[in-house]
Amino acid sequence: MNMLSIGLAQISPIWLNKELTREKIRSYIEEAGSHGCDLVVFGEGLLPGYPFWLGLTHGADFNSKMQKEIHAHYVRNSIQVEAGELDILCEAAKKNKIAAYVGIIERAKNRGGHSLYCSLVYISKEGEIKSVHRKLMPTYEERLAWSPGDGHGLQVHSLKEFTVGGLNCWENWMPLARTSLYGQGEDLHVAVWPGSVRNTEDITRFIAKEARSFVVSVGALMTVKDFPSDTPYRDEIVKNAVDPLTDGGSCIAGPDGEWVLKPVVEKEGLFTASIDFNRVLEERQNLDVAGHYSRPDVTRLILNRERQSTLKTIE
């Protein structure tokens, strides 16, 4: 029970094609299961992909026909959890007895069904969706496509002896978001990214040292050739793109901040490692930021986990 096998699925999406990307994710859940993994993690917004066009096509142009058409295409390929659009992934997790963290672009029904959220979904080994965490604050140009989330998904989950939680991309730089998970007993932290070693190589080890937890960072890949030929305004998007747009950088740090798996760059595949819960107990001996090394009588955090909506219906 103290050992956990983790799969890091560093892959590219079939960009803005939710059916094909979902099938690719399903196949990697199957592969991770065949390798005996207890948990498999995918990058931020992988299903159906990151909104790269915003920084490449003047995404802030107001009333731009091009921006509206690309956005509409994005909405159509985003995921509505309530409609069962993740059922195929849940079935794969149950069949293979593996838990999964999957980054999706969510078309939230309880917010009207037209606005988008960058969400991190936890699927249990029983194939049940246990949390959908909507990114609290989209970063910079992401705010042109994604809406601010809420605290409902700031939850942790038991996995063997571990307590696992997760955040999206730059949420990992938000001290109070991290603290909300530490306070719930998190000792395995999952950080998902669009994919860049320049992000993961520093913060992965920093969070591990701060939390005395294992930290798993998983990023996606994206190159110019990964833009499908039927992408609206594809030529306009790629003409200013660097190649690669994202290089992965997936890695694992131990609770002492040292590498369990060093960042993997520009390589697609499933990368695995086993971690030992006893290492958490050893490193918490001298620092436990939610336990003996805290002062809740002086500083304390309030977490609001209410799912936000503009409508409350009373029958």
For residue 84, count other CB atoms closer than 10 A to its CB: 9
Closest CA to 190 of 212, 157, 167, 173: 167
- Which one-letter DSSP state was computed for residue 52? G
CATH class of the domain comprising 3-283:
alpha beta
From the number of C-beta atoms within 10 Å of its C-beta (0-12, 13-18, 19+), residue 79 rates as buried
Which positions are annotated as active-site residues?
44, 135, 169
- Tens digits of per-residue pLDDT, 238-275? 999 999 999 999 999 999 999 999 999 999 999 999 99
Predicted confidence at residue 1, as pLDDT, reads 82
The sign one gets for the Cα dihedral 107, 138, 140, 206 is negative
What does the alpha-carbon distance between residue 38 and residue 159 come to, in Å, rounded to a whole number? 8
Q: What is the mean pLDDT of the chain?
A: 97
Predicted confidence at residue 165, as pLDDT, reads 98
- Tens digits of per-residue pLDDT, 39-82? 999 999 999 999 999 999 999 999 999 999 999 999 999 999 99
- Tens digits of per-residue pLDDT, 102-133? 999 999 999 999 999 999 999 999 999 999 99
Q: Are 248 and 197 in contact (CB under 8 A)?
A: yes
pTM: 0.97
Residues belonging to the chain: 315
- Tens digits of per-residue pLDDT, 128-183? 999 999 999 999 999 999 999 999 999 999 999 999 999 999 999 999 999 999 99
Predicted confidence at residue 23, as pLDDT, reads 98
What Å distances lie between residue 144 and 7, 59, 224, CA to CA? Answer: 32, 7, 22
- Give kind and range of the element (H or E) at residue 75: helix 65-76
Predicted confidence at residue 312, as pLDDT, reads 87
Angle at 203 between CA 49 and CA 245, to 5 degrees: 30
Domain-by-domain residue ranges, the chain? 3-283
What does the alpha-carbon distance between residue 203 and residue 216 come to, in Å, rounded to a whole number? 11
